[in-house]
Amino acid sequence: MTILVLADHDLGALSPATARVVAAASVLGEIDVLVLGEGIDQVAADAAKLSGVARVLVAQHPGLVGQTAETFVPVLAKLAPDYAHIIASAGALGRDIVPRLAARLDIQPITDVIAIHGPNRFDRPIYAGNAIQTVSSAQPRQILTIRASAFRAAGQGGSAQIIPLDYDPVNAIATIVAAHRTENNTPDLATAQIVVGGGVSVGSAEGFKLVGQLAAIIGAGVGATRAAVDAGYAPNDWQIGQTGKIIAPDLYIAVGISGALQHLAGIQGAKKIIAINTDPEAPLVKLADIVLIGDLFETIPALIAQLEHL
Ligand code: FAD
């Protein structure tokens, strides 16, 4: 069976999520990666190096720069008959494209897959991550979004063939007018191996610099609760949880976070949790593997001081 994986990329770089989707898909068969955009030679070259990838199909055109469902779906729909599975990561691009593609092909998509048991059998979270559903599909073709954070990345060492595709431009009604990016040198939250998350008790954007300092020392991504984001202490794209990003790091350090259900929905894939909180009864404290009961404004500087001496 051949699998088609849609590559995620931004600013000319292949997203780390694609390597994870490729690793997830490799249990199903031979993989072709589809790269759409313009100025994407490096993206295609990097996709070709991922182990498990047989071919990289590349369509380059100015009309594909905006990465919208309107422009991408016709390409995917045309390729669909050759593939048993069409897979995208469950990020912004996949969530935009997969529903439209599925409607076009009259196929029920299976979204947010966190485990693949076989060609037609997948696990996905339901009820904001409070239960895991195993879905068995009798459809002739599967269209999936995969939670990249639930899988390890594919290794390097592949040497896939790069094949250019023709692209018939479409008259798109929607176009991307501007992309507002947050300047951030920390690892991407969705694929970071360590994440430090701050709650509203961090108290200010200035306070979040302390969280960022701890994260920088240990090479972690920085996240926040919705309460901290709503208070303006942290940018939107740091939000972890049901209405934010889903993370699955090896280690999550939760600083002054109570552990509301909506936040827990975003961290269920975390392998180990350290909670730093003044309240020993906080739900996240009860869930954590390691607990530091204390004021974050004393604990974090002390931790930073210790780590700086290592
Ligand atoms: P709080 O619940 O106020 O907790 C603060 C914690 O800090 C407490 O445990 C306290 O003991 C501790 N603390 C206080 N001072 C200190 C100190 N000096 N040192 C150490 N610890 C201290 N939330 C999300 O995070 N993500 C989501 O995606 C999300 N989606 C939502 C969707 C909906 C529809 C709704 C209704 C809510 C959603 N929420 C989400 C909000 C969620 O319900 C909680 O309100 C939020 O997660 C609480 O954030 P918090 O832990 O920062 O604040």
Task: Report residues of the chain scoring pLDDT below 70.
Answer: none
Query: The tokens 């593939």 sit on which residue?
Result: 83
What is the reported pLDDT for 286?
97
Q: Whose CA is nearest to atom 35 of ligand 1?
A: 262
Distance CA 219, CA 76 (A): 37
Report CA 58 to chain centroid distance, whole Å.
Answer: 22
Closest atom of ligand 1 relative to the 276 alpha carbon:
20
Ligand 1 pocket, Cβ-based, cut-off 6 angstroms: 199-201, 225-228, 239-244, 256-258, 260, 262-263, 266, 276-279, 282, 295-297
Tokens representing 43 are: 């993206």
Q: Whose CA is nearest to atom 46 of ligand 1?
A: 227
Q: Whose CA is nearest to atom 31 of ligand 1?
A: 262
DSSP letters along the chain, please? -EEEEEPPEETTEE-HHHHHHHHHHTTTSEEEEEEEESS-HHHHHHHHTSTTEEEEEEEE-GGGTT--HHHHHHHHHHHGGG-SEEEEESSHHHHHHHHHHHHHHT---EEEE-EEEETTEEEEEETTTTEEEEEE--SSSEEEEE-GGGSPPP-S---PEEEE--------S-------PPP--SPPTTT-SEEEEE-GGG-SHHHHHHHHHHHHHHT-EEEE-HHHHHTTSS-GGGBBSTTSB----SEEEEES----HHHHTTTTT-SEEEEEES-TT-HHHHH-SEEEES-HHHHHHHHHHHHHT-
**C-alpha 150 to ligand 1 mean position (Å):** 24
**Beta-carbon contacts of residue 8 (< 8 Å; ≥ 6 apart):** 14, 15, 17, 18, 21, 88, 89, 91, 93, 94
Q: What is the ipTM of this complex?
A: 0.99
What is the reported pLDDT for 129?
80
Distance CA 113, CA 148 (A): 9
What is the reported pLDDT for 97?
96
Mutate which of 204, 257, 281, 299 for ligand 1? The one with the most ligand atoms within 8 Å of its CB, which is 257
What is the reported pLDDT for 22?
98
Q: 191-233: per-residue pLDDT in tens?
A: 889 999 999 999 999 999 999 999 999 999 999 999 999 999 9
Q: 123-164: per-residue pLDDT in tens?
A: 999 988 889 999 999 999 999 999 998 899 999 989 999 999
What is the reported pLDDT for 270?
93
**C-alpha 266 to ligand 1 mean position (Å):** 13
**Beta-carbon contacts of residue 173 (< 8 Å; ≥ 6 apart):** 70
Q: Whose CA is nearest to atom 11 of ligand 1?
A: 279
What is the reported pLDDT for 49?
98
**C-alpha 199 to ligand 1 mean position (Å):** 6
